[in-house]
Structure 1
Amino acid sequence: MTAPTRTPHTRRAAVVTAAAALAGSIATPALAGTADRGRGRPPLRRAHAHNDYEHPHPLADALGHGFGSVEADIWLVDGRLLVAHDESELDPARTLEALYLDPLLRRVRAQHGRVYRGYRLSLQLLIDIKTAGGPTYRELSRRLRRYRSMLSVCAGGHVHPGAVTAVVSGDRGARAPMEAETVRHAFYDGRLTDLGGSAPAALIPLISDNWSLSFTWQGVGPMPPGERAELRRIAAAAHDEGRRVRWWATPDQPGPPREAVWRELLDAGVDYLNTDDLAGLEAFLRAAR
């Protein structure tokens, strides 16, 4: 869809509320000297734990490394939302509530409304739907309402930030039932094709896409100037619309190529760096700070 013609000033004014509400950035600590429990360091808003549930301690490992975003794949099975990458790995005990929603609620209550005590960071919980999007989202929506005290919410087009922001990815069939809700406890993960569209950042605050579909460079040698310019153009366009950017399928084997890609992502203003290597990304980002 083509967006209505607007000047840069009116466009920015239209998205500034949603952008501020869901930017996920770390503000000045509310309590001087405080950080994540037991870590002594501030959280990392740009760190995204890809397939977080595959780590030995889902969620806890990512939070222990200070990550600002975690990802869980879900399957709707007999009315339950089970977490797994492949259908063969489904386990009735590994529900979205048991692995993520219940522990997050306990943590937020214990830490005075914050995932990271003293920091105004809304943890992004990226929920990747593996089964049919419509029925899976409708069940997810019912479950999320039980946790509304900690979640960001969109009501009547206005975003009210919470300690956790649920963003729905995966099967595209989730979008229609999401758009139909007047009160939503989740947001939609868009694609590059959503840039410049009419859907507001209050619905689509995040743009995610496959690195290899847009770029040939994998971190060996200098990044081609044309690809660097395109990366920065995409990030700037998303930010102008009040949206954040994440790429998946970036190089993730330890070594200079991965760090070269990460440096270019940071320099371009990309909001989330995607990894399965929690310790590796934490070390890189803390050094970069």
Structure 2
Amino acid sequence: MKALFLATVLALSPAMVCAADVKPLLQAHAHNDYEHQRPLLDALDHGFTGVEADIWLVNGKLLVAHEEAHIKPERTLEALYLDPLKKRVSENSGKVYPAGEGFTLLIDIKTEGEPTYKALAEVLSKYADILTVIRDGKVQTGTVTAVVSGNRPKDYMVSEKVRFAGYDGRMPDLASDMPASFMPLLSDNWTKIFTWKGDGEIPFAERAKLQDIVKTAHEKGWTVRFWATPDQPGPQREAVWKELKAAGVDKINTDDLAELQSFLSK
């Protein structure tokens, strides 16, 4: 029995050391994170500071899946994300990473906006001790910041006195004066804004446009994310990643955890 215990400790120790040594990467965001073998945990092992979970309201439960056909009753938002995050924060001196970097949980609503959001708000309220909470427009920054994307019931969210999640804006919101306390993140589809997909040099006008978007958003206190950027291995993806990084885009979207970790760690 003693020998078995020692063997188990020795087997676990390298993994524990590796987990403790993971460097948090501020720009690393796991797109469709729940499709990885170990949702959330694989992203954390690669230093990601943002993950995306798509949710469906089914019989009063918030279930995580990309397509309705893939819904499974045991894959709840709580089981895959909120409970593991709460446990990690509790065991790690109130932090997701020892370095204390913030963490974004992007929640993409797939079913009807308002009823799904109401169910989400009720669930998130149970995790208020680890979440960023907005009370009467004042932000109480938590270890984890939840942001609602997809079918966002904007008017209902604006009306709330207390919120446990921010609103994910779109490019038309760039011209608005939406407070960062309500809209901390501005996201949009790369292919609807830019024609360049990583072949050759980025056109001068498009590089200037990207830089202007980031500059404007940052001046208003918002972070920036694009989806639908090239994500197949190759020079096109790396070229786009270089431009996003250089422009100061806050969240670089990918399904390839290891490669983005390697790129951002160089």
TM-score tier, shorter chain, comes to over 0.9
Work out the CA distance in 2 between the residues paired with 1:147 and 1:222.
46
1:95-114 alignment to 2 at 5 Å? 95-114=76-95
* Unmatched 5+ stretches in structure 1: 1-34
Q: Tell me if 1:79 matches 2:56.
A: no
The alignment partner of 1:189 has SS state of strand
Work out the CA distance in 2 between the residues paired with 1:48 and 1:213.
20
Q: TM-score, normalised by structure 2?
A: 0.92
Corresponding residue of 2:109: 129
Corresponding residue of 1:239: 218
Contact conserved, 2:22 with 2:46, CA < 8 A, in 1? no
Corresponding residue of 2:139: 159
Corresponding residue of 2:5: none
1:142 to 84, 100, 122: 122
CA-based RMSD: 1.3
* Unmatched 5+ stretches in structure 2: 1-15
Contact conserved, 1:153 with 1:186, CA < 8 A, in 2? yes
Work out the CA distance in 1 between the residues paired with 2:264 and 2:40.
19
Contact conserved, 1:44 with 1:66, CA < 8 A, in 2? yes
2:40 to 54, 59, 69: 59
User: What are the superposed Cα offsets for residues 92-117 of structure 1, whole Å, 9 maximum, x if unpaired?
Assistant: 00000000000110000000110112
Contact conserved, 1:144 with 1:185, CA < 8 A, in 2? yes
The alignment partner of 1:212 has SS state of helix
The alignment partner of 2:122 has SS state of helix
Corresponding residue of 1:70: 51
Which has the larger Rg? Answer: 2
Work out the CA distance in 2 between the residues paired with 1:171 and 1:240.
26
Q: Highest relative contact order (Cα 8 Å, sep 6+), 1 or 2?
A: 1
Q: Which amino acid aligns with 2:108?
A: D
Q: Which amino acid aligns with 2:101?
A: L
Work out the CA distance in 2 between the residues paired with 1:61 and 1:120.
19
Deviation at 1:158, TM superposition (A): 1.0
2:192 to 198, 213, 218: 213
Deviation at 1:90, TM superposition (A): 0.5
Q: Which amino acid aligns with 1:251?
A: P
Q: Tell me if 1:182 matches 2:161.
A: yes
Deviation at 1:140, TM superposition (A): 0.3
Between the two proteins, the alignment pairs up a number of residues equal to 251
Deviation at 1:142, TM superposition (A): 0.4
1:229 to 183, 187, 208: 208
Contact conserved, 1:36 with 1:66, CA < 8 A, in 2? no
Q: Which amino acid aligns with 1:211?
A: W
Contact conserved, 2:177 with 2:220, CA < 8 A, in 1? no
User: What are the superposed Cα offsets for residues 214-265 of structure 1, whole Å, 9 maximum, x if unpaired?
Assistant: 1111101000001000000100000010000000000001111101000001
Would you identify which runs of 4 or more consecutive aligned residues in structure 1 move more than 2 Å?
Answer: 35-39
Deviation at 1:36, TM superposition (A): 8.7
Work out the CA distance in 2 between the residues paired with 1:175 and 1:113.
31
The alignment partner of 2:19 has SS state of coil
Deviation at 1:196, TM superposition (A): 2.4
Q: TM-score, normalised by structure 1?
A: 0.85
Work out the CA distance in 2 between the residues paired with 1:78 and 1:199.
34
The alignment partner of 2:175 has SS state of coil
Q: Tell me if 1:43 matches 2:29.
A: no
1:202 to 173, 178, 181: 181
Deviation at 1:41, TM superposition (A): 3.6
Work out the CA distance in 1 between the residues paired with 2:19 and 2:51.
20
More helix by share: 2
